[in-house]
Amino acid sequence: MTAALPTISALVRDLASGKTTSRQLVEDCLARIADPKGEGARAFVAVHADAARLAADAMDALRKAGAAPSPLAGIPVAVKDLADMKGQVTTAGSTALADRPPAEADAPVVARMRAAGLVVVGRANMVEFAYGGIGTNPHYGTPAAPWDRANRHVPGGSSSGSAVAVADGMAHGALGTDTGGSCRIPAAYCGVTGLKPTARRVPTSHVVPLSTSLDSIGPIARTVDCCALLDGVFAGEPIAAAKPVPLAGLRLLVPTNIVLDAMDPAVARDFEATLERLAAAGAIIVRETFAPFEMVRGVLNKGGLSAAESYAWHKEVFASKRNQYDPRVAMRIAMGETQSAADYIELLARREAAKTAYAEGLADVDAILSPTCPILPPKEADLVKDEDYTRLNMLSLRNTLMINVFDGCSIALPMSAPGAPPTSLMISCGAMADRRMLGIAKSIETALTSRNT
């Protein structure tokens, strides 16, 4: 949990008791966004100050009348610049879509947020078209991760602005998307929590796609419960905190292949300390090879499903405005142009085989544990050369993207103590096991929090 910033559960209690108001929360967030010493100018592509104040006042009036639409009514949040919001142009972190007409309606997930009374303070910055795990954006700037900010480490992507906004108190939760780790990587690099739900649980319509096969929409917030509460809103399910699953007797698989390779010493140290803590709490740590991981490479051939499906969406804009794209993004989208129909069909078949193997591989364990990212957030200055960018981007994405291929659910939560270099634990389960996974994550979070106090 980010030190000194409130959880959503705490804000719910404070709003209900009258200790604070939505207007006060919104003003505090807007002040942090506007702070010239902060990252607000880079974390947001648009700030909706007047609309947020009006919405906050409305939620305060409804709560006073006993008619708040949900317990979360009045809490300020950010929305990644992929999701349509009525009357606004969705730019997806790019300048190439600036001349599009304003959206005629909210995306369904945004409509659910508004119906719950969440107050949107602005549109969060992101990697252009969500195509990257590092978090850089040459058009709107790159917000720095909180750790060692003077040296400007990248925030992780593609939901970069969402994570920085939550970490810095510019919003108390945020909508992110996750195609290969885009909620979990920025959560890891910014020291917060990010949830990748089972994709089918949250509608993705009217959200600019990266990969229609792999896209999912999840929250970035400060704790497991914060994510669980927002996930209920996003999925149109009951808004409820996670129900803890006792650690004693849980079989937690630590794969010995791929996910532990090339770890930074700080990541390795914190991961081993985490496993020791969980074992002491009675969890059974199973260390063995997980064969389905070896199937993922075949699903990434020729740019994988993301290249094919993003090129299909971008084709017309790409033909006329490719020079407006970040060259590092354009290069990957262009890979989809070279795929044949046979290539694409083969990728779909390989993915189905991988999903089946993953489900079977989970039969004897309760969850998979790994570092979210094997490395610490790189410095912006270390990404000047394309070869360095490519290497660090792939390392950032390596562990997370496999769960999207498998159609699983996954959550990233901090392993490190506040102020230490940010390291993150990833907990993954099978499709539609989201609520049980959140319960396991809550118990793990409690164990780690007690270690760090």
Enumerate the active-site residues. Answer: 80, 158, 182
Longest Cα–Cα distance of the chain, Å, equals 61
Q: Which two tokens stand for residue 374?
A: 């094997």
Could you tell me the strand order of the sheet in which 284-288 lies?
Answer: 44-47, 119-124, 76-80, 174-177, 217-221, 193-196, 409-414, 424-429, 367-371, 251-255, 284-288
Who contacts 53 (Cβ-Cβ below 8 Å, separation ≥6)?
Answer: 23, 26, 27
| Angle separating helix axes 341-361 and 386-405, nearest 10 degrees | 60
Q: Is 323 helix (H, G, I), strand (E, B) or coil?
A: helix
Who contacts 352 (Cβ-Cβ below 8 Å, separation ≥6)?
Answer: none
Q: Which two tokens stand for residue 363?
A: 């039969």
Q: Which two tokens stand for residue 24?
A: 């006060």
Contact between 33 and 47 under an 8 Å Cβ cutoff? The reply is yes
